[in-house]
Structure 1
Amino acid sequence: MRDRALTIEVSDEATTSPHLRHARVQDEDGRGLLIVAPLAGRWGARCTPDGKVTWVEEALDSDEQPIPVGG
């Protein structure tokens, strides 16, 4: 938690940037960001030497307006 916001991070070894997409029924991945992004105040990703970290952030102050997704 930082500055009245909860940040959740997930890392993986892929080097591709995350993007919102509708996974097909047979896909084994690709659903997480589509589920989480509408609920989060902000989301993004950063590259690491081992892949990438995707993060979502939600304000903890109920009076604060959420920042648009992807912003």
Structure 2
Amino acid sequence: MLKHTGSPDCVLTLQGNADAVRITVSDASRELPVVKQPDWMSQSGRGMFLLSGTAAAWGAEPTPDGKDVWFEIRASAEGAA
């Protein structure tokens, strides 16, 4: 079961280049994400906290139909060899 937001649907887009992958989640909700200290006993609410600590970069942008939340995972120098 996928629990994402109040929006009933979302679209996942992956874009790769030589040194990173950008993942974008688009949905119809206009509510932008907030990074907050999670309640570790809760069943949800840790996504942005975990993402902000592991992604090389991330952001959220309003769109005419809702919003896009994106993050980048970069290849390490050791992994590229």
Query: TM-score normalized by structure 2?
Result: 0.60
Amino acid at match of 2:26: S
Q: As a proportion of its length, which structure holds more helix?
A: 2
CA-CA distance at 1:6 after TM superposition:
0.8
Q: Which has the larger radius of gyration?
A: 2
How many pairs are equivalent?
62
Q: As a proportion of its length, which structure holds more strand?
A: 2
1:22 lines up with 2:27 in the alignment: no
C-alpha RMSD of matched pairs (Å): 2.2
Alignment of 1:2-21 (within 5 A): 2-21=17-36
Q: Give distance in 1, aligned partners of 2:65 and 2:38.
A: 25
Q: Give distance in 2, aligned partners of 1:23 and 1:61.
A: 28
- Alignment correspondent of 1:66: none
Q: With CA pairs under 8 Å and 6+ residues apart, which has the higher RCO, 1 or 2?
A: 1
Amino acid at match of 1:62: A
CA-CA distance at 1:2 after TM superposition:
2.7
Where in structure 1 do 4 or more consecutive aligned residues deviate above 6 Å?
none
| Residue of structure 2 aligned with 1:36, choices 51, 62, 66 | 51
Report percent identity of matched pairs.
Answer: 32
Name structure 1 gaps, 5 residues minimum.
Answer: 64-71
1:58 lines up with 2:64 in the alignment: no
Q: Any idea what the Cα deviations from partners look like across 1:7-58, whole Å, max 9, x if unmatched?
A: 11112222122220134455x7532111111110000011111110101102
Name structure 2 gaps, 5 residues minimum.
Answer: 1-15
